[in-house]
Amino acid sequence: MSNSQKIVNYQAINFAQKLSLFSEQWQPKVIAQINNHQVKIVKIEGDFQWHQHKDSDESFFVLEGCLRLDFRDGSVQVNAGEMYVVPKGVEHKPYAASEVKMLLIVPDGVINTGDGEANERTAQGDVWI
């Protein structure tokens, strides 16, 4: 083995273990990189803000709890073990009556609050856990 050979970490990424490492809500943490997409876990509770992602679809995989995604013309309930993809350019607002733990797969650089000005709900991107 040469010194320059990459050390491979043959360890599965465990969602529950990663989720146990933080308690703050609305602050997605990166757990893996897939090409130009990042896999993130996040805990949310309560109401978010209306926003859209002009250039990117957004996927929500619910691990625990029950997520409601509101749209201007309806809503969808996403339970644990289910997923939903919000198409690019569609206004949406996540809502969780009680804490929801979920996984997101989004392209690098996509901002949680969508397009436009950053505000107090804009999370720092690229925070690994």
Residues that bind Ni ion (CB under 5 A): 58
Nearer to Ni ion, 64 or 91 (CB): 91
Residue nearest to Ni ion (CB): 58
Q: Rounded to the nearest whole angstrom, what is the least distance from the CB of residue 127 to Ni ion in the complex?
A: 17
Alpha-carbon dihedral sign for residues 26, 39, 93, 122: positive
Q: Rounded to the nearest whole angstrom, what is the least distance from the CB of residue 115 to Ni ion in the complex?
A: 10
Q: What whole-number distance in Å separates Cα of residue 13 and Cα of residue 11? A: 6
Q: What whole-number distance in Å separates Cα of residue 106 and Cα of residue 86? A: 11
Nearer to Ni ion, 85 or 97 (CB): 85
One-letter amino acid at 19 equals L
Nearer to Ni ion, 11 or 54 (CB): 54
* Residue 20 in tokens: 């146990």
Q: Rounded to the nearest whole angstrom, what is the least distance from the CB of residue 58 to Ni ion in the complex?
A: 5
